[in-house]
């Protein structure tokens, strides 16, 4: 992979204020893309933009809640208005709900998790696809999860939301395969980012336990997931379509 | 009246563990069972058990790694009962626990020859007979290791993954000809094979049991129940699938 | 004696298609069946069909997308029958035949609310009752489209994938406590939902046949038999499994 593989491209990253989203924004920027960062966290978003600039790249921040249709519509409109094109979209914004048994999950919690993780991805696909068609094609990567391929105790609604992302990824891929838009998702395993912080805090000792679980004996880093996302958007991955790419240190192999 | 009345079934490895449970249950459901396995005495004992319960069975000594013996098994079933409707390709071995770089080519070959190539030869000959009667149902005994891997069981895992692939391809080929082909993928099951690898009371046994989300391994009877179901007309729209019975092992 | 004698079964979406077929099978096997649907007329028709065949059934109206409806539904079943042993969370709506960017937000949300949240609601209220009794069995209706994608039905596919996720996780949470949870993944079945789609898109009825290696669509009864087996003690080691009943569609 060369440093300029994304030169001239415009990449939209949701959930760019931290974690995997930030790592992906930085990775795409290193490859020469202009980045539109989207998030609800303004401070984190500005920091990502600064980090991109410090690395010599170009980025802007649009505050957007992906569970809001008007926010997502504006986000894509602003991107097209500012930059005239959309080549890459990393639909990564997501929230967790870990460690609660199904029968204890409230309607509000259900709605919130599904709203951001599933409806959010739907809305992003809905508005990004026409923009990409206008731009002559593009590449979309959605953040699913290992929990989008299998279940786990304490993850019922999160897993449901991420399975839905896998379903939408496959379907969108089939719909746009011949129209120049490649759609895939990444399925990270246990990655050391802030989405897990409430769970570690509520479960002392869990951080160490989960660190040892993957066959590799450690958690993944946001950068490792970002590398996979970036690769999926290069021409090297031109035949990868409708795929759920596991980045999980072998968790799903066992 | 049993749900397999009038049917003729072949069960390989049908003299102990899961295979024996399948043979016994099939006979109880009215099938005439032809058991193919290596152990003569175990074969005789299984037939006696079935007959004592009022069922009908025959034993034909078979090593499924030897194609001519599989031919004799299938030929023998048809010669004895006139037809073949159902088959459970269950004969298989686990192999020793070894890291892949410690597995010799001979080890690998012998497991593949029995578990996978043996299954292939059986399926080939069974299909030919089933086409003659316009239909049938084959169940291949794969494993959770046909879907996921387990360290130290490379050859076994490869052979079971192969069995899954073979199952799906065969299902697609014969789907419009009345023959259904499916696999059952058990997790840990209380059988002599399992106990050989995970001795009762051992640390590894406890680990294996705990690995199953529901906290226990399965029984041969539970696995046999799934084979009977897939054989029956109740599963008329099920083909090319891996029916997983593993206490949640592969759900996570 | 059948597996379902003296058992109480609840089926949502029992007014037609797979739900009606399952209600009839449970009744045939001896269960008293609480038939639930959002449509009173068709739900009560299912009850009458069961009673005409000598079975026991009653109707309880519910919109599964509304949590309080589902809570009341389960309460009503327990008040009427004293227990709940088996639940088939089956109520659902179909695909829309549009690309993802052609779906409106309200269409997407409606599909998710009925197909996914409906299952969530079902389990949320059924599980505590079953835990009180020491156990039970739940089968959720997902779909072949819960495992793969198909152009034109993104909301449907998303919702059915999500059912698989809910099922697997819930199975892992409650399996060791006696509540066995699995889902069924039907292929293309001759149901009113599909007939409605084919009425609107007649080319689809012919086109979709190529998806089915078996060369025909499935009947609701074929899915119902499988659901009943999955809910029975015969399937006691099956936890968190997504069982395909799809004529080989997902084998390819």
At C133-176, the pLDDT tens digits run: 999 999 999 999 999 998 999 999 999 999 999 999 999 999 99
pLDDT at A3: 66
Q: What is the pTM of this model?
A: 0.91
Which CATH homologous superfamily contains domain C8-233?
A: NAD(P)-binding Rossmann-like Domain (3.40.50.720)
Find out whether A184 and A231 touch, Cβ atoms under 8 Å. no
| Percent share of chain C, pLDDT over 70 | 99
| B243 contacts in chain C (CB < 8 Å) | 238, 241, 243
Pairing of strands A58-63, B189-190: unpaired
Find out whether C124 and A105 touch, Cβ atoms under 8 Å. yes
Q: State pLDDT tens for residues C48-94.
A: 999 999 999 999 999 999 999 999 999 999 999 999 999 999 999 99
Which is more confident, C144 or C193? C144
Assess whether pLDDT exceeds 80 at residue C26.
yes
Which is more confident, B190 or C197? B190
| A246 contacts in chain B (CB < 8 Å) | none
- How many distinct structural domains can be found in chain A? 1
| B250 contacts in chain C (CB < 8 Å) | 240-241
Q: State pLDDT tens for residues C87-125.
A: 999 999 998 889 999 999 999 999 999 999 999 999 999
Q: Looking at chain C, which residue has its C-alpha nearest residue B215?
A: C176
Which residues sit opposite B140 in a β-bridge? Answer: B89, B183
Identify the three-state secondary structure at position A10. Answer: strand
pLDDT at A236: 87
Find out whether B137 and B230 touch, Cβ atoms under 8 Å. yes
Which residue's structure tokens are 């079943």? Answer: C77
Find out whether B211 and C176 touch, Cβ atoms under 8 Å. no
| Catalytic annotation, residues of B | 156
| Catalytic annotation, residues of A | 158
Pairing of strands B32-37, B56-61: parallel
- Choose among B176, B222, B244: nearest Cβ to C241: B244
Residue B165 sits at φ, ψ, to 5 deg, of -60, -45
Pairing of strands A58-63, A181-188: unpaired
Alpha helices per DSSP H over B133-187:
154-174
Q: Quick check: is A51 in a domain?
A: yes
| B247 contacts in chain C (CB < 8 Å) | 175, 237, 239
CB contact under 8 A, A110 and C103: no
> pLDDT tens digits, chain A, 254 residues: what are they?
456 899 999 999 999 999 999 999 999 999 999 999 999 999 999 999 999 999 999 999 999 999 999 999 999 999 999 999 999 999 999 999 999 999 999 999 999 999 999 999 999 999 999 999 999 999 999 999 999 999 999 999 999 999 999 999 999 999 998 899 999 999 999 999 999 999 999 999 999 999 988 888 888 999 999 999 999 999 889 889 899 999 988 888 88
Pairing of strands B218-219, B242-245: unpaired
CA B110, CA C162: separation in Å to the nearest integer? 42
CA distance A174 to chain B (A): 22
Alpha helices per DSSP H over chain A:
19-30, 42-54, 69-83, 107-114, 120-134, 156-176, 197-202, 206-212, 222-232
| A116 contacts in chain C (CB < 8 Å) | none
Residue closest to B59 by CA, chosen among B114, B16, B3: B16
> pLDDT tens digits, chain B, 252 residues: what are they?
799 999 999 999 999 999 999 999 999 999 999 999 999 999 999 999 999 999 999 999 999 999 999 999 999 999 999 999 999 999 999 888 889 889 999 999 999 999 999 999 999 999 999 999 999 999 999 999 999 988 889 999 999 999 999 999 999 999 999 999 999 999 999 998 889 888 999 998 999 898 898 888 999 999 999 999 999 999 999 999 999 999 999 988
Give ipTM to 2 decimals: 0.90
What residues contact B104, with CB distance under 8 A and at least 6 apart? Answer: none
Identify the three-state secondary structure at position C90. Answer: coil
**CB-based contact, A181 to chain C, within 8 Å:** no
Identify the three-state secondary structure at position A115. Answer: helix
| Percent share of chain C, pLDDT over 90 | 90
**CB-based contact, A54 to chain B, within 8 Å:** no
pLDDT at B97: 86
**CB-based contact, A150 to chain B, within 8 Å:** yes
CB contact under 8 A, B151 and A252: no
- Tell me, what DSSP letter sits at residue A114? H
CB contact under 8 A, B252 and A253: no
What residues contact C199, with CB distance under 8 A and at least 6 apart? Answer: none
pLDDT at B164: 96
Find out whether B204 and B217 touch, Cβ atoms under 8 Å. no
Q: Quick check: is A226 in a domain?
A: yes
Residue C61: CB atoms within 10 Å: 17
Instruction: Count CA within 13 A, CB hemisphere, residue C16.
Output: 15
CA C252, CA C241: separation in Å to the nearest integer? 19
Q: Quick check: is A2 in a domain?
A: no
Alpha helices per DSSP H over chain C:
17-28, 40-52, 67-81, 105-112, 118-133, 154-174, 192-200, 202-207, 220-231
Instruction: Count CA within 13 A, CB hemisphere, residue C196.
Output: 10
CB contact under 8 A, B148 and A153: no
User: Which chains contact C through at least 3 pairs of Cβ atoms less than 8 Å apart?
Assistant: A, B
pLDDT at C24: 98
Domain boundaries, chain C: 8-233
Residue C242 sits at φ, ψ, to 5 deg, of -105, 100
pLDDT at A1: 43
CA distance C185 to chain A (A): 14
Q: Looking at chain C, which residue has its C-alpha nearest residue A70?
A: C105
CATH number at residue A42: 3.40.50.720
Q: State pLDDT tens for residues C169-183.
A: 999 999 999 999 999
Assess whether pLDDT exceeds 50 at residue C228.
yes
**CB-based contact, C134 to chain B, within 8 Å:** no
pLDDT at C179: 97
Identify the three-state secondary structure at position A126. Answer: helix
**CB-based contact, B238 to chain C, within 8 Å:** yes
User: Which chains contact B through at least 3 pairs of Cβ atoms less than 8 Å apart?
Assistant: A, C
Q: Quick check: is A5 in a domain?
A: no
| C240 contacts in chain B (CB < 8 Å) | 213, 248, 250-252
CA distance C230 to chain B (A): 10
Q: Quick check: is A3 in a domain?
A: no
Give the domain extent around A231: 10-253
Assess whether pLDDT exceeds 60 at residue C1.
no
């Amino acid at each position: 992979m060369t440093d300029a593989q994304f030169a001239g491209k415009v990449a939209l990253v949701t959930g760019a204020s931290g974690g995997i989203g930030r790592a992906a924004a930085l990775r795409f920027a290193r490859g020469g893309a202009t980045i539109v960062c989207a998030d609800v966290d303004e401070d984190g978003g500005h920091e990502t933009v600064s980090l991109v600039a410090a690395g010599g790249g170009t980025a802007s921040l649009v505050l957007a809640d992906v569970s809001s249709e008007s926010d997502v519509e504006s986000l894509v409109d602003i991107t097209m208005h500012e930059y005239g094109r959309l080549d890459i979209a990393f639909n990564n914004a997501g929230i967790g709900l870990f460690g609660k048994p199904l029968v204890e999950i409230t309607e509000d919690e259900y709605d919130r998790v599904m709203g951001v993780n599933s409806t959010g991805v739907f809305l992003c696909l809905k508005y990004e696809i026409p923009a990409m068609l206008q731009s002559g094609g593009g590449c979309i990567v959605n953040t699913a999860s290992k929990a989008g391929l299998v279940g786990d105790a304490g993850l019922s609604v999160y897993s449901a939301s991420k399975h839905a992302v896998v379903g939408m990824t496959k379907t969108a891929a089939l719909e746009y395969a011949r129209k120049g838009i490649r759609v895939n998702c990444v399925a990270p395993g246990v990655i050391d980012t802030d989405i897990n912080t409430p769970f570690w805090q509520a479960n002392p000792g869990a951080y160490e336990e989960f660190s040892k679980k993957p066959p590799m004996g450690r958690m993944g880093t946001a950068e490792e997931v970002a590398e996979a996302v970036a690769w999926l958007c290069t021409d090297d991955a031109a035949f990868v379509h409708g795929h759920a790419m596991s980045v999980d240190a072998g968790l799903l192999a066992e | 009246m049993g749900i397999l009345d009038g049917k003729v079934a072949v069960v390989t490895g049908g003299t102990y563990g899961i295979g024996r449970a399948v043979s016994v249950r099939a006979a109880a459901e009215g099938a005439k069972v032809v058991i193919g396995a290596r152990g003569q005495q175990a074969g005789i004992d299984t037939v006696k058990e079935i007959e004592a319960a009022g069922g009908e069975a025959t034993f034909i000594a078979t090593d499924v790694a030897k194609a001519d013996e599989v031919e004799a098994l299938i030929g023998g079933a048809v010669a004895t009962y006139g037809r073949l409707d159902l088959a459970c390709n269950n004969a298989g071995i686990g192999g020793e626990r070894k890291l892949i770089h410690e597995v010799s080519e001979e080890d690998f070959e012998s497991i593949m020859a029995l578990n996978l190539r043996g299954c292939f030869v059986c399926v080939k000959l069974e299909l030919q007979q089933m086409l003659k009667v316009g239909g049938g149902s084959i169940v291949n005994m794969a494993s959770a290791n046909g879907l996921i891997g387990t360290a130290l069981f490379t050859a076994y895992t490869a052979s079971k993954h192969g069995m899954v692939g073979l199952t799906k391809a065969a299902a697609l080929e014969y789907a419009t000809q009345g023959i259904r082909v499916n696999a059952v993928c058990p997790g840990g099951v209380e059988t002599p094979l399992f106990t050989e690898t995970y001795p009762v009371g051992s640390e590894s046994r406890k680990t294996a049991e705990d690995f199953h989300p529901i906290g226990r391994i399965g029984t041969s009877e539970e696995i046999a129940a799934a084979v009977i179901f897939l054989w029956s007309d109740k599963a008329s729209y099920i083909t090319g699938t891996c029916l997983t019975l593993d206490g949640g092992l592969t759900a996570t | 004696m059948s597996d379902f004698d003296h058992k109480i079964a609840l089926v949502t979406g029992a007014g037609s298609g797979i739900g009606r077929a399952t209600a009839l099978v449970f009744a045939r096997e001896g269960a008293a069946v609480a038939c639930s649907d959002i449509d009173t007329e068709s739900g009560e028709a299912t009850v009458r069909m069961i009673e005409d065949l000598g079975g026991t059934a009653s109707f309880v109206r519910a919109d599964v997308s509304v949590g309080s409806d589902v809570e009341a539904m389960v309460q009503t079943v327990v008040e009427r029958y004293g227990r709940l042993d088996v639940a088939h969370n089956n109520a659902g709506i179909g695909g829309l035949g549009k690309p993802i960017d052609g779906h409106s937000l309200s269409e997407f949300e409606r599909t998710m609310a009925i197909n996914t949240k409906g299952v969530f609601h079902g389990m949320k209220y059924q599980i505590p009752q079953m835990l009180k009794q020491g156990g039970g069995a739940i089968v959720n209706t997902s779909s072949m489209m819960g495992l793969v994608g198909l152009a034109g039905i993104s909301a449907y596919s998303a919702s059915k994938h999500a059912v698989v996720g809910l099922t697997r996780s819930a199975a892992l949470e409650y399996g060791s406590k006696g509540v066995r949870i699995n889902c069924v993944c039907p292929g293309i079945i001759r149901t009113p939902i599909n007939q409605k789609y084919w009425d609107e898109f007649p080319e689809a009825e012919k086109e979709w046949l190529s998806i089915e290696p078996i060369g025909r669509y499935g009947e609701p009864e074929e899915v119902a038999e499988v659901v009943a087996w999955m809910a029975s003690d015969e399937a006691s080691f099956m936890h968190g499994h997504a069982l395909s009943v799809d004529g080989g569609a997902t084998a390819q």
